[in-house]
Structure formats: structure tokens, C-alpha cells
Amino acid sequence: MPFGPRPTDIPRIRTALRVYKVSSIITGSFLLLLVVMMVLRYGFNVDIELGGPFGLLALTPKEAITGVNLSLVILTVHGWLYVLYLGCDFVLWRLVRFSFGRFLFIALGGIIPLLSFFLERRVPRQVEDRIAAVEAADAPYAPEVEASA
């Protein structure tokens, strides 16, 4: 099987790339919120409470929460956003025909803080380079015009 994207897949690749970039930023942002939440939960034994008796947002021990436990919301939302991120990673991997190792490395972007922001800049450049190579190879041969003397 040849490596690299098929010329017919280029419009789908560009669409998948736009969705990947957005999901990468959103997933990375929620991962940073998750890190803050974990530090608060396991470092200070408090969760983030929304709409409780201590105000709109409060740091409350887990057992004393009467409002919405925003820490659990952050956990859940990040989990589902990571599923979306993995789906985008899979679609890019399949269409661009990346190696499986690259698929796994991109997947780490939703697990390692700040990596998704780095990959959000790097992966599109790599994909565009591959697209440019396919478009250059697929361009019709244009012989030089001979000058008449």
C-alpha cells in the first residue's frame, strides 16, 4: 500500500484538520482545568462547588458539597472531549496514512498537559506538507515550450 494521502481524500483531510485543530484546543483547555482540579482535590482535599451555600464558586470539602460538584463536571466533559479528540486523530491517521506511532503520539495530546497546544501547531503543518507533496505529484506534466528561432 502506498504511503501518503490519496488525492481524492484531500477535501476530507482539510475538513478533518479543521475539526482536529478546534478539538485540540478545547481538549487541551479542559485538560488544564483537570490538572487544577486534581491539585485541589488531592493536594488540598477540596472540590470546586458551583451554586452552593458559600457563593457562586467555592472550594468545598467533597463531603460538604450541596451544589453542583464542578470537579465531576470537568472530569466528565474532559473525558468526552478526549473521545472526540481521539476520533479526530483516528480520522487524520486513516486519511493521511500516518504511522501508528504517530497516531499514538498525537493521542497523548489529550493526556499530557500542554502537548495538545504544541501538536495543534505541528500536526497541521505536517498534514499540509503531505497534501502539497501529493498535489505536486498529481499535477499534470507540463513540458517546456520550445522557443522558435
Predicted confidence (pLDDT) at residue 147 exceeds the cutoff of 70: no
* Domain-embedded: residue 97: yes
Residue 50 domain flag: yes
Number of domains in the chain: 1
Q: What is the pLDDT of residues 13-50, one digit of tens each?
A: 999 999 999 999 999 999 999 999 999 999 999 999 99
3-state secondary structure 34-90: HHHHHHHHHHHCCEEEEEECCEEEEEECHHHCCCEEHHHHHHHHHHHHHHHHHHHHH
Residue 136 has pLDDT above 90, yes or no: no
CA separation, residue 64 to residues 57, 60, 70, 127 (Å): 14, 6, 13, 49
Q: Is 148 contained in some domain?
A: no
Residue 139 in any domain: the answer is no
On whether residue 92 sits in a domain, the answer given is yes
pLDDT digits (tens, 9 = 90+) for 67-118: 999 999 999 999 999 999 999 999 999 999 999 999 999 999 999 999 999 9
pLDDT for position 149: 47
Residue 140 lies in a domain: no
> Does residue 10 belong to any structural domain of this protein?
no
Q: Could you tell me if 88 and 28 are in contact, meaning their C-beta atoms sit under 8 angstroms apart?
A: no
**Sorting pLDDT into bands at 50, 70 and 90, what band is 7?**
confident
Domain encompassing residue 32: 15-133
> Per the domain annotation, does 142 fall within a domain?
no
Asked if 83 contacts 107 with a C-beta cutoff of 8 angstroms, the reply is no
Provide the whole-model pTM. Answer: 0.82
